[in-house]
């Protein structure tokens, strides 16, 4: 039996107010962040869970989450997608990568603080030594050799691997290119 | 004692006519190719050795090679460089990478047949399973995400690693970025 969790859409975030639902969702794939707890240890926290919209969209699509406006009205999948498309540049491309990685069992978290789209873990934050830093590009996006070096260098400096994800939206497939940088 | 070998400049190639010199040079780092022997086994060949200009320039600079025109007049280092600059697009950048890799003990061979600048071996062709494919880029060169995918994909398909080399000519240093490609 899969328990469907309820979440509230608050501005551009989703809040799970029920503490046991929050713990269950965070404990089953590190979705969201417990409010006010920057480095949660396990699921033994007493705080609501805050999800990013992209996480919410994925969970609604997977029927693990039902989403409601503040006034109690349910948010349809189509409505969430419209909201996501306003909040994320190139949402469809980014979502395809998020979904592709999540469906394969990776832990996909927002990469903003690393200057990329997603920080991806095999086991989870605090368990893996370091995340992979994933940046989503469209096939036609330009990048310079310097850009590639900077990205590779940045990731290497912080002992993380930088990965370029280029989604093929029509085929629902993603090309991944991993980078290692060194100077000699 | 380092033996200085003599070579002749013939069009845009350098020929070592002396067979024992040819064997010695090929045997000490896989410089050049024995004429008419596409896959030489060891150094037991009876053929003159044909070097690329970039190899010749490196060996002259290292004082392992003296280079002569057909008429017997010696070719100065400066003259070889001028000839190289006519033969290679972006010779200084390419040479910096060649020199950087050779000085570190790698075997650096022409990469033309692999569609790159250099095919690089740790031990040597026929000993290593496969070479690294190295392409020299200037920091300002543009590459598209598709270009990166194609390059990574090509190298992965032929079980070779693709490496971008971006020389910093003023610092005499080279940034290397290695690529791994996969589709999911």
How large is the ipTM? 0.74
Instruction: Work out the pLDDT band at A1, boundaries 50, 70, 90.
Output: low
Instruction: Work out the pLDDT band at B39, boundaries 50, 70, 90.
Output: confident
Residue B2 is predicted with a pLDDT of: 65
> What digits encode the pLDDT tens for the residues A70-119?
999 999 999 999 999 999 989 999 999 999 999 999 999 998 888 789 99
Q: Given the DSSP bridges, would you call strands B5-10 and B65-68 parallel, antiparallel or unpaired?
A: parallel
How many cross-chain Cβ pairs, A to B, lie less than 8 Å apart? 100
Q: What is the 3-state secondary structure (H, E, C) of B116-146?
A: CCEEEECCCCCCCCCCEEEEECCCCCEEEHH
Residue A37 has pLDDT above 70, yes or no: yes
Local structure of A104: helix, strand or coil: coil
Q: Which of B108, B135, B145 to mutate: most A Cβ within 10 Å?
A: B145
For A161, phi then psi, to 5°, come to -95, 135
For B153, phi then psi, to 5°, come to -70, -45
B170, B157, B110: which is closest to B135 by C-alpha?
B110
Residue B1 is predicted with a pLDDT of: 56
Q: Which two tokens stand for residue A151?
A: 């990205």
Distance between A86 CA and the closest CA of chain B, angstroms: 24
Residue B16 has pLDDT above 80, yes or no: yes
Distance between A160 CA and the closest CA of chain B, angstroms: 14
Give the lowest-confidence range in A44-48, A126-130, B32-36, B72-76.
A126-130
Q: Given the DSSP bridges, would you call strands A5-10 and A65-68 parallel, antiparallel or unpaired?
A: parallel
Local structure of B72: helix, strand or coil: coil
**Mind telling me the catalytic residues of B?**
121, 129, 160
Mean pLDDT of chain A: 89
Q: Which two tokens stand for residue B119?
A: 């095919």
Residue A169 has pLDDT above 90, yes or no: no
> What digits encode the pLDDT tens for the residues B121-155?
999 888 887 889 998 988 777 777 777 777 777 66
Verify whether the Cβ–Cβ distance B144 to A144 is below 8 Å: no
Strand partners, B174: B167
Please list every residue in chain B whose beta carbon sits closer than 8 Å to the beta carbon of residue A139.
Answer: 144-146, 149
Q: Which two tokens stand for residue A93?
A: 């491309």
Residue of A nearest to B97 (CA): A184
B119, B114, B162, B167: which is closest to B141 by C-alpha?
B167
In angstroms, how far is the first alpha carbon of chain A from the final one? 56
């Amino acid at each position: 039996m899969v328990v469907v969790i309820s979440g509230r859409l608050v501005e551009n975030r989703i809040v799970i107010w029920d503490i046991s639902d929050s713990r269950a969702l965070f404990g089953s794939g590190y979705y969201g962040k417990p409010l006010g707890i920057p480095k949660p240890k396990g699921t033994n926290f007493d705080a609501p869970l805050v999800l990013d919209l992209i996480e919410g969209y994925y969970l609604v699509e997977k029927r693990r989450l039902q989403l409601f406006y503040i006034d109690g009205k349910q948010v349809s999948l189509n409505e969430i997608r419209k909201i996501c498309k306003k909040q994320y540049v190139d949402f469809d491309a980014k979502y395809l990568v998020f979904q592709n990685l999540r469906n394969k069992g990776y832990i996909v978290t927002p990469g903003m603080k690393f200057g990329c789209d997603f920080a991806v873990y095999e086991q989870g934050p605090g368990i893996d030594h370091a995340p992979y830093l994933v940046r989503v590009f469209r096939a036609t996006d330009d990048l310079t050799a310097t850009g590639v070096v900077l990205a590779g260098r940045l990731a290497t400096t912080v002992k993380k691997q930088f990965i370029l994800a280029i989604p093929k939206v029509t085929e629902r497939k993603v090309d991944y290119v991993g980078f290692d940088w060194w100077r000699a």
